[in-house]
Amino acid sequence: MRKTDSFRRQHDEIGAVVTQMRNHLNADELAKDATAMFDLVVSLRGQLKVHLAMEDKTLYPRLLANDETKATAQKFMDEMGTLGGVLADYIAKWPRAESAQTDPHGFIADTTGLLNALVDRVERENSDLYELADRS
């Protein structure tokens, strides 16, 4: 069992929600009713909150305490601040299902950007950060 298995499992769960969200990115459907999409947004936000809290509490302190992993951990932490800001801006801009129904094309563009950034982050954590953590 790897040290990062629980984090990787959370990434899989986040990825499943991302896939479901992408399946709902249809302007005509969103204009009629975006409730299902916003249930997924709430789910994703909750999963990310738990995941980030676990990383901050257990993973990063261990990596920052090790000279061999400190620089990489700090780089990922710094980048997460940027992604966290993107997520906060997204939530502020799209607070309810009705906001997506009013501007489904804008919602789709912003959601696609957020999901792409999130998937990129998850892939880099799995391949770089978690591999490093498992070896340390």
Per-residue pLDDT, 58: 93
Task: Report pLDDT digits (tens) over 47-79.
Answer: 998 998 899 899 999 999 999 999 999 999 888
103 phi/psi in degrees, rounded to 5: -140, 70
The set of residues, in sequence order, having a beta carbon less than 8 Å from that of 74 and lying 6+ positions away, is 64
Say how many C-beta atoms besides its own lie within 10 A of residue 79's C-beta. 14
Predicted TM-score of the model (pTM): 0.90
Measured CA to CA in angstroms, residue 2 lies from 7, 73, 125 at distances of 10, 18, 14
Does 11 score more than 80 pLDDT? yes
Sign of CA dihedral 56, 117, 10, 64: negative
CA-CA distance, 87 to 41, in Å (whole number)? Answer: 11
* 14 within 8 A of 87, measured Cβ to Cβ: no
Task: Report pLDDT digits (tens) over 82-109.
Answer: 787 888 899 999 999 999 999 999 999 9
